[in-house]
Amino acid sequence: MAKLKIVKFGDETLRKVCRPVDEITPRIKQLLDDMIDTMRAAEGCGLAAPQVGVLRRIAVIEVEEGTVYELINPKIIAFSGEQQDREGCLSNPGYAGITKRPRTVTVRAMNRNGETYDLTGSDLLARAICHECDHLDGKLYTDVQIRPLND
Ligand code: NI
């Protein structure tokens, strides 16, 4: 179990466009494990590699305890509907905002075994997918928030 340091808003790293993963090495698998540990320790429901200082297209999501999705080179291939709800980020602790996102999205990604899979999610899972994919392009939820929330 390794907990990584989470980069905070204001750090340039979070504004970079990440590079695709072309080979799943033991190092990438270790990174996935460490990202999952880090996300859980911080009680978040998603974490992207740039948030731990790694500029690669990798993210992990766990909106339902025990169900972890590993997304390598994820790409949103379909979306529909609309939702407005609360969104936060482990890189911006203590803050949240209301964002507008699609109600349902389908993302195509690779898992750690190099297998391509499609994941369709609605509501919180759809928000998490959009949020984490945005991170890989240097985009933050505050870029798309309708209004900040004080809680
Ligand atoms: Ni985030």
Number of C-alpha atoms within 13 angstroms, CB side, residue 70?
20
Domain span at residue 102 reads 12-148
Q: What is the pLDDT of residue 2?
A: 87
Conformation bin of residue 84: beta by default, left when phi > 0, alpha when psi is -120 to 50: beta
Q: Evaluate whether residue 135 is within a structural domain.
A: yes
Low-confidence ranges of the chain (pLDDT < 70): 1, 151
Q: From ligand 1's centre to the CA of 90, what distance in Å?
A: 6
Q: From ligand 1's centre to the CA of 66, what distance in Å?
A: 20
Q: Evaluate whether residue 74 is within a structural domain.
A: yes
* Candidate list 62, 65, 115, 132, residue with the active-site label: 132
- φ, ψ of residue 28 to 5 degrees: the values are -65, -40
Residue 8: both structure tokens together: 């905070």
Q: What is the pLDDT of residue 131?
A: 98
Q: Evaluate whether residue 80 is within a structural domain.
A: yes
Is pTM, for the whole model, over 0.85? yes
Q: Evaluate whether residue 105 is within a structural domain.
A: yes
Q: From ligand 1's centre to the CA of 102, what distance in Å?
A: 17
Q: Evaluate whether residue 34 is within a structural domain.
A: yes
Q: What is the pLDDT of residue 12?
A: 97
Number of domains in the chain: 1
Q: Evaluate whether residue 94 is within a structural domain.
A: yes
pLDDT per position as a tens digit, 110-134: 999 999 999 999 999 999 999 999 9
Q: From ligand 1's centre to the CA of 25, what distance in Å?
A: 25
Q: What is the pLDDT of residue 56?
A: 98
* CATH number of the domain where residue 143 is located: 3.90.45.10
Q: What is the pLDDT of residue 151?
A: 58
Q: Is 62 a catalytic residue?
A: no
Q: Evaluate whether residue 58 is within a structural domain.
A: yes
Q: Evaluate whether residue 6 is within a structural domain.
A: no
